[in-house]
Amino acid sequence: MSEKWVYLFNELDQAEKHVGGDWEAVRGLLGGKGTNLAEMARIGVPVPPGFTVTTEACNAYLASGGSFPEGMWEQEKEALTAIQAETGKTFGNRENPLLVSCRSGAKFSMPGMMDTVLNIGLNDETVKGMIELTGDERFVYDAYRRLVQMFGNVVMGVPDEAFEEILTEVRKKQGVRTDTELTADAWKSVTEKFKEIFKRRTKLDFPDDPYVQLKLATEAVFKSWNGKRAVDYRNAAGISHDLGTAVSIVTMVFGNMGEDSATGVAMTRNGSTGENQIEGDYLTNAQGEDVVAGIRLTKDLTQMKTELPKAYAEFEQIARRLEKHYHEMQDVEFTIEKGKLWMLQTRDGKRTAQAAVRIAADMVEEGLITREEAVLRVTPEQVDFFLHPQFDPEAAKMARTGGNMLAEGLNVSPGAAVGMVVFEADLAEEWAKEGKQVIMVRPETKPDDVHGMLAARGILTSRGGRTSHAALVARQFGKPAVVGVSSLEIDMGRRQMAVKDKIIKEGDWISIDGTVGEVYAGKLATMIPDIKDPWLRKLLSWADEFRTLGVWTNADYPHDARRALEYGAEGIGLCRTEHMFFQSDRLPHVQKMIMADLPIERSEALKALLPFQREDFAGLFQVMNGLTVIIRLIDPPLHEFLPSQVDLLRDLADLKIRLQHAGKLKKIDELLGKVRNKERILKRVESLHEANPMLGLRGVRLGILIPELTIMQVRAIFEAACMVSKEGVDVRPEIMIPLTTHVNELKKQREVLEAEAMIVMEERGVEINYKFGTMIELPRAALTTDQIAEYASFISFGTNDLTQTTFGISRDDAEAGFLIEYMENGILPDNPFDTIDRDGVGELMKIAVEKGRAVRPGLECGICGEHGGDPQSIALCHELGLNYVSCSPFRVPIARLAAAHAALRKK
Ligand code: PEP
Ligand code: MG
């Protein structure tokens, strides 16, 4: 007996047995489509009778150089006989002709890659029978010409243009624009003309014999596996070339056989909202294509309830059964032929982020899936959707096709923003106060732009990377931002920017999409999803049950901390104290402290700063009652707090010109004073100048050189802690030293810190439990964490700096330069400032955790670099056994889900 090459849809059990019961192997044997149809048949869903010729047959055919394997064709004919018995129709019979489609279907979906032939079985005789059966001559000839065309093109290789030319000619002659307007006679003559083309091109008559049609169509599908399109697709998609394709032969069913026939498409749940209600469109007395092509106005599926009640009831029941079987929302196609319902296809349905969340949560309640499955089904990107306004997809599409997309840049802070362009922070603030919506546009932003950024709806810069100032601030405050848009030419002097051939002036409207990094001209419509969505809350609470990683937040102000708490944060992993220094009521004191020539001047400036810091910390402690607050001591180089050298030189030149023209003595005196002051600042700026400030006097080095600074910050922290602790707040401060590279730095800072903490606690008569620790953001620190752990009871990976110093790539400039090219050329698989580089930075982290915990087993390890909100990096942090990840408040819900994914996938 020959091998079995053909399986009827109701022989799925045999196919399973043939491959040893392995479900993946069944898909490999029968292809995705064949398996799906057979599976529906097995669970009792009515699918048009049919069978599948296996991928093994295809591979045998291709290996032999073009002969069917022994017994295959006989088996195909036998299967056809079985279909005839089942349908009561006969292949080639005029009275009640059986028509079939011949479809390719590999193990993996390869959309549009291989070929399909429809309406096999039509010839001059059966056409007549079909016309009698349907009473629709136009439809039958349209079907017939399609067979000739598809067969000619797919099976015999006649170029499609030859057929299309004729169609164009006929349409012209009939004076119509679309095929739907063509009459029955027109289709009849098109069919004749197609046959002539067929003969002219192939030197053969179009085969009348349905068996010849089927045999050649089967062969053509086999051969299409090695067609250029298919090979290219597999190369691109990484699909193996030796899988072969299966061929499914399916009885054609028609929805246009009268008013008791119909055809439609449906989703088993609402794909936009996720509501558990079937939704779809259908048409009575129509073909499937009519529904999809939108030529006729379709009807809402609910109408089918009254129009075809019996079929609808059955359809509804099948939809539920399919969901139960696949444990997923399904997207189905169906046809009703003379009152009989047939399901033609089912697959997992596409859905919006909102629908994905609701469907996953509902399916748990319905007992269809487990909580774990639900959590794994929702992606971090889908959760992100709930946190920011989005552009209406239709509006974005129209803007794109209308040529209003201006440029692309780095998508550093998600969400959509619409506003008037403003090039300067003060003006941004002023306009916002007047109630205007603004987008702040700058070549790059600096700390003294922050008030403008806060007032703006979104931020756009032409320079800078993922950890640039603009990106960090935008993420922290949840402002949509696109940075590094190199095609923007900003002309600050003329208050305008040029992009492509457009000039955008200050006050013009633009729209930016920080989720994808796109910039549009004009106002795009937005929609605002809701973080309080009850299904999202439910899903995230399940995620919390599964994750072992803590999720903390980076927050500097009480209102950020409050938001983060609402989003589910369990602590503050990083409070960047210097951000408080930049506020306008504090900056003068900071500048005074930097400019001080005498210790007394410095200590006065620091004294003035102290109450501000104390108040800020007290606010944070109050909000975070009972939770850890990690406060990092000052980090950036001091020149960042002073005006830039360029600005100072410009101001000085300005003042000197005014001085030359000043007449009155009083004016001269006043200007001279200003000149001296500016010169003094300039001198200080020049003295602070470093070739590489990122590798210079910053971080702990500042604390070592100016211990008064550390003392002031420590005093502010402990005064605040004592104060709120007396109010009954449970304070848990942890003090963190930045940019440590050697254990001795830590030793020294700890002495200063402990002494001051002790003094304050004694003064106030309160004991505060606190921890002392450090950031690990330099390779040397990572490699010597055993020494560091002697003095630090916690470490937190500052992966922004750790990536910068491990790669030797500037975090501020890289993405505007070669890094993008590196990624495009595949030299780097991912942007290391987005996703932790496992092999380098990840390895350093691993060493640090191991060495640190070897010395201090309970060492608290976390991460507070931007990577703390990136799902892939979160998975790595889980593997490394960190205690928590800390990210901006707006990433907290995403991190909760990603941490649960990491835990569940490791199980
Ligand atoms: C880091 O370097 O990862 C970090 C969190 O510190 P900053 O970004 O403030 O330098
Ligand atoms: Mg850092």
pLDDT tens-digit readout, 15-54: 999 999 888 999 999 998 899 999 999 999 999 999 999 9
On whether the CB atoms of residues 178 and 289 are closer than 8 A, the answer is no
pLDDT at res. 179: 72
Strand partners, 343: 334
- The CATH superfamily label for domain 1-123+209-252 reads ATP-grasp fold, A domain (3.30.1490.20)
- Chain-wide mean pLDDT for the chain? 92
Q: How far is the CA of 121 from the centre of ligand 1 (A)?
A: 70
Report the CATH number of the 133-208 domain: 1.20.80.30
- What DSSP string describes 21-37? T-HHHHHHHHHHHHHHH
For residues 410 and 832, give the distance between their C-alpha atoms in angstroms, rounded to a whole number: 14
Q: How far is the CA of 449 from the centre of ligand 1 (A)?
A: 20
Give me the mean pLDDT over the 608-628 stretch.
97
Numbered residues of the known binding site for substrate: 576, 632, 777, 798-801
Highest mean pLDDT among 78-82, 105-109, 171-175, 468-472: 78-82
Q: Please give the positions annotated as active site.
A: 469, 864
Q: Which residues in 470-497 are b (16+ Cβ under 10 Å) and which e?
A: bbbbbbbbbbbbbbbbeebebeeeeebb
Position 294 pLDDT exceeds 60: no
**Ligand 1 atom at shortest distance from the alpha carbon of 576:** 9
Q: In whole angstroms, how far apart are CA 853 and each of 707, 848, 850, 876, 886?
A: 30, 8, 5, 18, 20
Q: Which residues in 141-163 are b (16+ Cβ under 10 Å) and which e?
A: bbbbbbbbbbbbbbbeebeeebb
Whole-number CA gyration radius for the chain: 35
Minimum CA distance residue for ligand 1 atom 6: 798
> Which numbered ligand comes closest to the C-alpha of 887?
1
Q: How far is the CA of 738 from the centre of ligand 2 (A)?
A: 7
Give me the mean pLDDT over the 539-558 stretch.
97
Task: Indicate the top mutation candidate among 473, 801, 888 to test ligand 1's pocket, ranked by most ligand atoms within 8 A of CB.
Answer: 801
Q: How far is the CA of 225 from the centre of ligand 2 (A)?
A: 54
* Range of lowest pLDDT (132-141, 231-240, 656-665, 760-769): 231-240
Return the residue matching tokens 């830039």. Answer: 644
Q: In whole angstroms, how far apart are CA 7 and each of 2, 75, 84, 246, 345?
A: 14, 9, 15, 11, 18
CB under 6 Å to ligand 1: residues? 574, 576, 635, 777, 798-801, 864-865
Q: Residue 438 is encoded by which pair of tokens?
A: 């603004």
Summarize pLDDT for 699-726 with one digit per residue, the tens.
999 999 999 999 999 999 999 999 999 9
On whether the CB atoms of residues 484 and 410 are closer than 8 A, the answer is yes
DSSP letter assigned to residue 840: I
For residues 28 and 107, give the distance between their C-alpha atoms in angstroms, rounded to a whole number: 5
DSSP letter assigned to residue 11: G
pLDDT at res. 555: 95
Summarize pLDDT for 846-859 with one digit per residue, the tens.
999 999 999 999 99
CATH architecture of 262-351: 2-Layer Sandwich (3.30)
Q: How far is the CA of 739 from the centre of ligand 1 (A)?
A: 9
Q: Residue 456 is encoded by which pair of tokens?
A: 């703006």
Q: In whole angstroms, how far apart are CA 3 and each of 6, 57, 83, 211, 478?
A: 9, 10, 21, 22, 64
The verdict on domain 388-527 having CATH code 3.40.640.10 is no
Position 296 pLDDT exceeds 80: no
DSSP-based three-state secondary structure for 330: strand
Q: Residue 794 is encoded by which pair of tokens?
A: 């916690």
CATH architecture of 547-637+694-905: Alpha-Beta Barrel (3.20)
For residues 794 and 638, give the distance between their C-alpha atoms in angstroms, rounded to a whole number: 27
pLDDT at res. 113: 63
Cα–Cα nearest to 581, from 508, 633, 624, 539: 633
Q: How far is the CA of 635 from the centre of ligand 1 (A)?
A: 9
350: number of CA atoms within 13 Å, CB side?
A: 0
**Ligand 1 atom at shortest distance from the alpha carbon of 738:** 6
Angle, helices 665-688/645-661, rounded to nearest 10 degrees: 160
DSSP-based three-state secondary structure for 309: helix
Strands 390-391 vs 526-527: parallel, antiparallel or unpaired = antiparallel
Summarize pLDDT for 183-233 with one digit per residue, the tens.
899 999 999 999 999 999 999 999 999 999 999 999 999 999 998 888 888
Q: Which residue has better confidence, 817 or 58?
A: 58
DSSP-based three-state secondary structure for 420: strand
Task: Indicate the top mutation candidate among 800, 803, 812, 887 to test ligand 1's pocket, ranked by most ligand atoms within 8 A of CB.
Answer: 800
pLDDT at res. 21: 86
pLDDT band with cut points at 50, 70 and 90 for residue 247: very high
pLDDT at res. 25: 95
For residues 245 and 233, give the distance between their C-alpha atoms in angstroms, rounded to a whole number: 14
Q: Residue 430 is encoded by which pair of tokens?
A: 């002023």
pLDDT at res. 292: 60
User: What is the edge-to-edge ordering of all strands in the sheet holding 246-251?
Assistant: 6-8, 50-53, 246-251, 100-105, 116-120
Minimum CA distance residue for ligand 1 atom 8: 800
Give me the mean pLDDT over the 462-468 stretch.
80
Q: Is 695 exposed, middle or buried (0-12, 13-18, 19+ CB in 10 A)?
A: middle
686: number of CA atoms within 13 Å, CB side?
A: 9
Position 293 pLDDT exceeds 60: no
Give me the mean pLDDT over the 516-531 stretch.
87
Q: Residue 780 is encoded by which pair of tokens?
A: 């040397």
- In this structure, the number of other CB atoms found within 10 A of the CB of residue 311 comes to 20
pLDDT at res. 803: 97
Task: Indicate the top mutation candidate among 412, 466, 467 to test ligand 1's pocket, ranked by most ligand atoms within 8 A of CB.
Answer: 467
Q: How far is the CA of 800 from the centre of ligand 1 (A)?
A: 5
